[in-house]
A and B are shown apart, each in its own frame.
Chain A
C-alpha cells in the first residue's frame, strides 16, 4: 500500500526527450536511455541514439528534471527522477528496455519497481551507498566532498573519459555537465535500496575495469544483485557513451537484446 505516493503525487514537469527512430519499424522493443547525475539526454544523442536507430531499434533519451533541456527542479528526489523515467517509458508505444548510466542506473532500478520493463541495462552503474562515496572521495576529493554539504557533485574529465578521447571533445562534454538536486544526491548515499523489480525483467550490467568512478568490484556486485556477471570493456572511462570507443558497449547491448534475453528466462 503506497499511501504517500497517492497522497502526494510527484509534480509534473516538462521533460526533454531526444529520439532517433529507424526508417523501418521492425517490431523491436524501444530503448529508453537514462543519463546519470549531471548529464542530460545530450550525452546519448552524441553517438548512441543514431547508432541504435541505424540498427533497427527506436531510441529515446530523457533528461531527468533539472538536467539538460528539462524544466529546473532544485528540490527533486530520486522518486521524482524515477517518476520521469516511468512517465516517458509508459508513453512509448510498446514495452521499453530501460538503459541507465551511472546514477541513472539507480534511477532505472527504482523505475523497474514501478514499471515492468522489457529488459534493463545498467551501464557503469552507481547504485549508491557509502562505498561509492569512498571511491569517489579517493579519486576526486575536491569534486566530491563539498557534495556532502549540498554543493554540486563535480566529476573531472580524467574520471569520465579515457586518454583516447581527443582533448577538445572531452572539454566540450565536460562543459555541458550540470548537477543533480541536493536531495537526490544525498539519497544516492543514504537512500533505501530499490524495491524488487516488477515483471521479472532480465538485466545486463556492463562497465569498464578502468572506470575511475565505478570500481570493478562494484560492477561485479551490481551484476550479482541481478544474478549475472558484468560485461567488461577495458580501457574506457566512466562515460562509455561519449568515450572514443563508444561503439563497443552499445553494440554489445543490442546484440544481447537481439538474442531476446526474456525468451531464455521464461522458457
Chain B
C-alpha cells in the first residue's frame, strides 16, 4: 500500500466488490482489521496487530499522528505548558522506552516526537489513511463490520469498506463536558472550556475564574496565578493535591514501590495522608475545603504548584457556582465575584458518534459503554475499544496490552474458533468489571482504573487466552 498523507482510500488491488444494504458498493477488505484513530492508542493497536500478522487500515481525521499530543490538532486538549503528570517509566510503551536522558516529566512536544518516532520506527504510517474521518461503523453478518469514511470536513464522497474486525481508538479527552448553570446565557464576560485554552497569554491581566480541579483545572489556575490580575478557583469538593516529587523521587515511583511490596490500600492511604500532612500540611487553613474522600478515591492530581500559589494568595479557592448574573457569578456560599473570563476545566465525555451506543452496551443512552477490561465488547467478539481508560499512571502501557490481547484473541478466532467462543462467555460475564478501589461518583471516574489492578487483570486474561 502506498504511503499517503492525502485523503486516502483503500488499496484497490485487494478489493472485491460486495453490495451494502442500500445497494452502494462496499469494498471487501478480507481479513484486514480497521483501526479508528492514530493517537497513542491507535498507533499501538496498528503496531501490535501488524506484529501479529494482520493487515491493518487505520483512519485518522487529522493529517498527522499523536492525537491529543499534537497540539496543532483542532481537537487537542493540550496547552502550551502541558507536561506529563505520570513520570517517564509510567508513561512509555513497554517495548519502546523514551530516551533515558529526558526529564522525569517530559513536555507535550516531546511526547509528540516520541509518537512520531514510534510510528516511523515500526513503519506504521503505511497503514494510515490521514485526513480521513470515520462516519459510520455498522455490524454486518458473520461478526464483520462496514466502516464508512469520508475526507475530514465532509468533502468528497463517502466510501464503505468491510472489515474482519474494528478497533476504536478515538480518544475520550476531546468532547468537552460543559455543566449547565442558571443565567449563563446572560453572563456578559467571556466563557470558554479548557479544551480551547492554549496559552497563558489568554489570561494575561484578566480577572479569571477557573472551574474544576482535575489536572487541567489545576494547571490553568497555576498559570492564572502568574498571569492574570486575579484568580479564583472553584471546586465542588476538596481534593488531595499531591506533589510531583516525594522523598526525592517522582511520587508515582514511590507509590509503585509500595505496590511492589504489596502494601495494602488502607496502609498506603494512611502513609499518603501522613506524607501530605508533613509536607503541605492542613490545607483548610488556606480556605480550601477538606477532602470528602480518602486519597486514591478521586483521579489523582499531580501538581506541586497549586498549593504553593494558594499559600501566596495568588489563587483564591472558592466553592461551587450557584448561578450566573450578567456582571457577576454567585457562589454557593452566597458570595458574588466579578470575573472577566470563566474557564470551565470540567473535563471531557467519551463520544462514539459513528456507532450505535447500544453496541457498546450503553443501553440507557447516557454515553457510558459497558465493556470487559474497558476494551472487549460483549456479543461483538471482533470489536474492541482501546485507550478508554483513566489510569493513575500513563495510559500507553495499558493501551499496548489491550491491543496485544485483542490481536491474540483475533488470532485465536482464526486458529482455534471453539476456544475463542469459550472466551466470549468470559467477556460477557466480565462486562462492567471495575479495576480500582472505591471512587467518588462522577463522570470523570467512569473509566478510572488502578494501573496495578488493571494490568494484573489483563495479564490473567492473556494467560487464560493462551492456556485454555
Contact = CB atoms under 8 A, between A and B. Distances in A.
Q: Is the interface of A mostly helix, strand, loop or mixed?
A: loop
B459 interface: yes
Given A1-B455, A1-B459, A9-B89, A86 B97 contact: yes
A117 to B, nearest CB: 10
Given A6-B90, A9-B88, A198 B95 contact: yes
B100 to A, nearest CB: 4
Contacts of B452: 1, 3
Contacts of B468: none
Contact of B120 (A6, A93, A114, A198): A93
The winner among B121, B257, B459 for most chain A CB atoms within 10 A is B121
Given A93-B120, A94-B123, A199 B51 contact: yes
A83 B88 CA distance: 14
Interface residues of A, number: 28
Interface string B246-259: 00000011101101
Interface residues on B, range: 20 to 34
Contact of B51 (A4, A8, A90, A116): A116
Contact of B95 (A6, A10, A199): A199
The winner among B51, B101, B260, B393 for most chain A CB atoms within 10 A is B260
A6 B253 contact: yes
B53 interface: yes
A92 interface: yes
Interface in A89-129: 90-95, 114-116
A241 to B, nearest CB: 26
A5 B259 CA distance: 12
B53 A95 contact: no
Interface string B326-364: 000000000000000000000000000000000000000
Contact of A83 (B100, B260, B456): B100
Interface of A: 1-10, 12, 83, 86-87, 90-95, 114-116, 198-200, 266-267
29 contacts: A1-B452, A1-B455, A1-B456, A2-B94, A3-B260, A4-B260, A6-B89, A6-B253, A6-B256, A7-B253, A8-B253, A8-B257, A10-B100, A12-B100, A83-B100, A90-B96, A90-B99, A90-B121, A91-B99, A92-B121, A93-B120, A93-B121, A94-B123, A95-B123, A114-B95, A115-B96, A116-B51, A116-B122, A198-B95
